[in-house]
Copies of this chain bind each other. A is one copy, B any other.
Amino acid sequence: MDYKQSGVDIDAGNEVVRRIRSLAKGTFTPGVLSQIGSFGGLFSLSSTPMRDPVLVASADGVGTKLRVAFMTGIHNTVGRDLVNHCVNDILVQGALPLFFLDYLATGRLDPDVAVRIVEGLSEGCRENGCALLGGETAEMPGFYADGEYDVAGFIVGAVERAHLIDGRTISSGDVLIGLPSSGLHTNGYSLARRVAFEVAGLNVNDMVPELGTTIGDALLRPHRSYLPVIRPLLGRGLVKGMAHITGGGITDNLPRILPEGCGAVVDRNAWEVPAVFNWLQRQGGVPDDDMLRTFNMGIGLIVISARNDADAVIGTLAGAGESGARRIGEIQDGVGVRYA
């Protein structure tokens, strides 16, 4: 008995490493010192000189959106989902991404699928100016069904301590500015898949006239990165806090940055909920509260600013190409999120 017979193919793993090495190299920024294949990836901080640097790190996955990738056979978009999700998670604290690492686990490694996943990761990294510094490809026989995998991402960024955004100064009267999402992003897929594929009984390639596309395409639409439009706001003191609207929706994510004694009132009429959410709610008979605590409902990121700065924030966003930003509510004394 050798190792290959037991379900692990070291040579296939090495082949994947060779093919992804060139993809990763295409993402390397001046800070990267190492080649993929070192035990650890090396990143020099002297490439981004700061007086008092704070590292901001986050780990995340794609969740069961992966199953839509399995169903459609489209494996080169989930990597962008993952990178963009991670980029947004550190961006809301004011950090720019430095580097990213992935963990890809399968039952039996299909080199072509693995390469397509890493293509998505490296594309996402390049778009965000973030180096794909390394990762782990694990072949775990029996852990994952044939053709399935899980992928996790880990990002490290940095911010000058003086420019850290932590919500501490948020107070009553501040304004909530919502930025549009590009779809479900990476949250709510267990519910969305159940509604689309069980309750509504669709196949991934079925057209949904109301959405103007197939249900597979609608659900696979990549999680957007807010870095390009938020970047011009950083370090200018205009932003008191930002919340990335992920699992738990506005309901659970906005309170994560609110100081004690502060609540938020969100005006549900301030933006138009995208068709995909209305379609899911109607098909599944999902209560309003559950929709709001599961999906982003069309708002993927919320910026909180002083009332006097709100126009400057919206203007700066527009200048960076984000024309969909709008006031969606305000901070009031209280706790949690109230919808009006």
Give the B-binding residues of A (Cβ under 8 A): 1-3, 6-8, 10, 33, 37-46, 52-61, 63-64, 66-67, 89-90, 92-93, 95, 98-99, 101-103, 105, 133-136, 138, 140-144, 148, 150, 152, 154, 156-157, 161, 164, 166, 188, 190-191, 194-195, 199, 243-244, 247-248, 252, 256-257, 284-287, 290, 293-294
Q: A3-B191, A44-B161 are in contact. List 7 more A-B contacts (CB 8 A).
A: A3-B188, A33-B164, A44-B55, A46-B53, A58-B134, A61-B136, A64-B141
Q: A2-B286, A92-B39, A199-B1 given as contacts; is B58 within 8 A of A52 (CB)?
A: no
- Looking at chain A's contact residues, is the secondary structure mostly helix, strand, loop, or mixed? mixed
With both chains docked as a complex, state the minimum distance between the C-beta of A311 and any C-beta of chain B, in angstroms. 26
Q: Which of B3, B41, B55, B144 lies in contact with A293, CB distance below 8 A? A: B3
Q: How far is the CA of A93 from the CA of B141 in the complex (A)?
A: 31
With both chains docked as a complex, state the minimum distance between the C-beta of A90 and any C-beta of chain B, in angstroms. 4
Contacting pair A3 B290 (CB below 8 A): yes
| Contacts A/B (CB < 8 Å), 22 sampled | A2-B191, A3-B293, A8-B190, A8-B191, A33-B164, A39-B243, A39-B244, A45-B53, A45-B54, A46-B53, A57-B99, A57-B133, A57-B134, A59-B103, A63-B140, A64-B142, A66-B140, A103-B152, A103-B154, A105-B150, A105-B152, A156-B156
With both chains docked as a complex, state the minimum distance between the C-beta of A138 and any C-beta of chain B, in angstroms. 5
Q: How far is the CA of A142 from the CA of B290 in the complex (A)?
A: 21
Identify the interface centre among A37, A191, A287, A294: most chain B CB within 10 Å of its CB. A191
Identify the interface centre among A54, A95, A287: most chain B CB within 10 Å of its CB. A54
With both chains docked as a complex, state the minimum distance between the C-beta of A43 and any C-beta of chain B, in angstroms. 5
Please, which residue of chain B has its CB at the minimum distance from the CB of A13? B247
By a CB distance below 8 angstroms, the chain B residues around A138 are: 61, 63
Q: A10-B293, A43-B57, A61-B105 given as contacts; is B90 within 8 A of A190 (CB)?
A: no
Q: How far is the CA of A177 from the CA of B101 in the complex (A)?
A: 31
By a CB distance below 8 angstroms, the chain B residues around A142 are: 64, 67
By a CB distance below 8 angstroms, the chain B residues around A2 are: 191, 286-287, 290
Please, which residue of chain B has its CB at the minimum distance from the CB of A140? B64
Contacting pair A33 B54 (CB below 8 A): yes
Contacting pair A156 B63 (CB below 8 A): no
Q: How far is the CA of A256 from the CA of B14 in the complex (A)?
A: 12
Contacting pair A144 B143 (CB below 8 A): yes
Contacting pair B284 A57 (CB below 8 A): no
By a CB distance below 8 angstroms, the chain B residues around A1 are: 191, 194-195, 199, 284-286, 290
By a CB distance below 8 angstroms, the chain B residues around A99 are: 55, 57
Q: A103-B61, A199-B1 given as contacts; is B39 within 8 A of A45 (CB)?
A: no
